[in-house]
Amino acid sequence: QVHLAESGGGLVQPGGSLRLSCTASGETYTTYVMGWFRQAPGKEREFVGALRYRGYHTYYSDSVKGRFTISRDNAKNTLYLQMNSLNTEDTAVYYCAYGPYAITSSVPQELAYRYWGQGTQVTVSS
């Protein structure tokens, strides 16, 4: 079992920044995919970005590319999502997800992830 603990959500004004954190504990994988999804009110959950670790490859949805950055602190087993230039369309519950190593085409798909965090609310509003 793997437990994911998220933090860092909150209220921010348009144009602002936030950093989300997700720490994995338990029986973690040697090679894995770890990422972020989000769900806005009335919408389906969507892929935001992910890091695939065997090597160090990051992936982003078109809607966040250039604004969001994923990074990892191996010593802390923690994944970060740095979100810049936030706008109201980024308002959502953000979920951390974790799974065994996945092929590239599977990275944006929920089925690639075996474990999920509880979610953290990000609200972008003036």
User: CA angle, 90 as apex, 116 and 126 as ends, to 5°?
Assistant: 130
Q: What is the model's pLDDT at position 62?
A: 97
Nearest to 2 by CA among 89, 87, 74, 100: 100
d(CA 57, CA 120): 24
Pick from 40, 87, 45: nearest CA to 68:
87
For 74-91, write each residue's pLDDT tens digit: 889 999 999 999 999 999
Per-residue pLDDT reduced to its tens digit, 39-75: 999 999 999 999 998 878 999 999 999 999 999 998 8
- pLDDT at residue 15 tops 90: yes
